Structures are given as structure tokens and as C-alpha cells.
């Protein structure tokens, strides 16, 4: 395995980490208002439960 192959592998891993980080941020922003004692949990439940 050459240095070039290792660099490409590192780049792919960093890209995967960035993608995962963006996904986590999206989920966190979606549930941000539902956390805590004054959270709006009713936003997660519809009339069918």
C-alpha cells in the first residue's frame, strides 16, 4: 500500500465523518425544542399517538 492509497483512505474516512456530523446536527436541530422541562413534546405526537 502506497502513501497515495493511504491518503485517499484518510480522505474517505474524513468525508464519512463530516457526513455523519452533518446528519447528527440535523437530528439535533429537529429535536432541539423537545428537550428539557419546558420542551414541546406535543410536536412529536399526532392525534393518533
Tell which phi-psi region holds residue 36, choosing left (phi > 0), alpha (psi between -120 and 50) or beta.
left
Summarised one tens digit per residue, pLDDT across range 4-49 is: 788 899 999 999 999 999 999 998 888 877 776 666 655 556 677 6
Predicted local distance difference test score (pLDDT) of residue 15 = 96
Q: What is residue 44's predicted lDDT score, i.e. its pLDDT?
A: 58
Q: What is the pTM of this model?
A: 0.59
Question: Cα–Cα distance between 30 and 7 in angstroms, integer?
Answer: 35
> What pLDDT score does 43 carry?
57
Distance, CA of 40 to CA of 37 (rounded, Å): 9
Amino acid at each position: 500500500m502506497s502513501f497515495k492509497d493511504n491518503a485517499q483512505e484518510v480522505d474517505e474516512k474524513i468525508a464519512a465523518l463530516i457526513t455523519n456530523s452533518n446528519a447528527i446536527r440535523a437530528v439535533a436541530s429537529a429535536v432541539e425544542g423537545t428537550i428539557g422541562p419546558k420542551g414541546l413534546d406535543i410536536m412529536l405526537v399526532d392525534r393518533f399517538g
